Amino acid sequence: MQRSVRKLLLATSLVFATSQSFAFEPARSAECIAPANPGGGWDFTCRSVGKIISDLQFIDGNVQTVNMPGAGGGVAFAHTVSKREGDTALLVAASTATTTRLAQGQFAGMNADQVRWVGALGADYGVIAVAKDSPYKSLNELMDALKADPSSVKFGGGSAAGGWDHLKVLIAAKAAGVGNLPKIKYLAYSGGGEAITQVVGGHIQGFTGDVSEVLGFVESGDLRVLAVMSEERLPGQYADMPTAKEQGIDAIAPNWRGFYLPAGVPDDAFDWWTKTIDAIYESDNWKQVMQQNGLMPFHKSGPEFTAFVQQQVKDIRDLSTEIGLIK
C-alpha cells in the first residue's frame, strides 16, 4: 500500500514538474544589453553569463551582447522601459551603479519599479584603506577621528562625488555614528589606482573603493586595509582583511553584478530566468569565472533580489539627501 502511494505521489509530482517546466518555453536565442562600451563591468557580465547560458544549453542558441552606452546606464534603462515591455528574451546587465543613479534621480523620470529585478551573481565589496605608515590602525580609530572633526581625513576614490566610492565611506561613517557627513572630504580621481597612488604618496589619508583594487598594494606592503564592507571575511587572499562588521560597525557595501528584465514579463518567464540565474551561480563554469575575475560570493534572485534592490535604492537616496546631493 505504501509503495502504491509513493508511486502515485511520484507520478503526480512528475506531471506537475513537467507542466511547470513547459509553462514557459524560452526563445531559441536571447539578447543581453550591456549599458556601456565593450570592456567594462557590464559588458563582462553580459558576455560571461551569456556564454554559460549557451554552454549549459539553457537555450538552444546564443545570447547576443548588445552594447548600449549612455547616461551611465540611463539610455539602456529608458530603452528597456519604453520599447521592450514584455520581452522575455531580454536581459539587461546592472550593478550598484544602476541603483545609485536610480536613487539619485539621474535616470530622469524613471524608477526601479519600472523593470523586474531577476538576480545577482557575485560582487566586488567596498573597502577602506590607508597607507602603511598611517596613524590609523583600525576602522574605529579612523571613525573616532571623523567624530572629532569630520574634515580631518581626506578620502579619494575612482567615482565622482556622490558616486558609489564616495558613498562607501559615508555608509561606514553613518553606521559608526559620525555626525555632519557633508563635511567629510572626498576627492574624485579617474580610477581607483590613481586614488591609491595619492594615498601611498601621502597626499590624501584614506582610500575608498573596491577590494579587488587593493590586493597588489596590500601584498607589496604599501597599503593597510582597515575594513572590508562585507557580511563576513572574504575567502582566499582576502581572508586576513577585517570586516567593518567585526569591528562593531554594521556597514555593508557590495558592488553586485546582476540583471533586470523588462516590465510586463509574465511570472512564468520571470521564474524561469530566476531559476536559470540560480543554476548558473551554482555551476562550475561560473565559479571559474568568479575566481578568474576576482568576484566574491553574493547571490540573490527573484523576490529576494527585488527587495534587496528596493532597500538599496532607499538607503542610497536617504544618504544622498543627508549629504545634500539631492533634495
Residues 262 and 167 in one domain: no
* Domain at 221, CATH number: 3.40.190.10
Short-list 102, 100, 97, 125, CA closest to 112:
102
Strand partners, 208: 128
CB atoms within 10 A of CB 303: 11
Residues 222 and 274 in one domain: no
Residue type at 161 in one-letter notation: A
Domain end, chosen from 220, 247, 274, is at 247
Residues 65 and 117 in one domain: yes
Q: Do residues 201 and 193 lie in contact, with contact meaning Cβ atoms separated by under 8 Å? A: no
Residues 111 and 133 in one domain: no
Residues 48 and 115 in one domain: yes
| pLDDT recorded at residue 16 | 36
Residue type at 162 in one-letter notation: G
* Domain at 263, CATH number: 3.40.190.150
What domain range includes position 56? 28-123+255-322
For residue 3, tell me if it sits in a domain: no
Residues 239 and 260 in one domain: no
Residues 82 and 51 in one domain: yes
Cα–Cα dist 272/17, whole Å: 13
Residues 76 and 129 in one domain: no
For residue 242, tell me if it sits in a domain: yes
Domain end, chosen from 197, 212, 247, is at 247
Q: Cite the DSSP H helix spans in the chain.
A: 2-21, 41-55, 74-83, 96-103, 139-148, 164-176, 192-200, 215-219, 267-282, 284-293, 302-322
In the chain (327 residues long), the average pLDDT of successive 10-residue segments reads: 38 37 80 94 95 96 96 96 98 96 94 98 96 97 98 95 94 96 95 94 97 92 97 92 98 96 97 97 96 91 98 95 89
Domain end, chosen from 247, 266, 299, is at 247
Q: Domains in the chain: how many in total?
A: 2
CB atoms within 10 A of CB 61: 13
For residue 220, tell me if it sits in a domain: yes
| pLDDT recorded at residue 293 | 87
* DSSP class of 149: -
Cβ-Cβ contacts under 8 Å for 302 (sequence gap 6 or more): 118, 119, 270, 271, 274
For residue 6, tell me if it sits in a domain: no
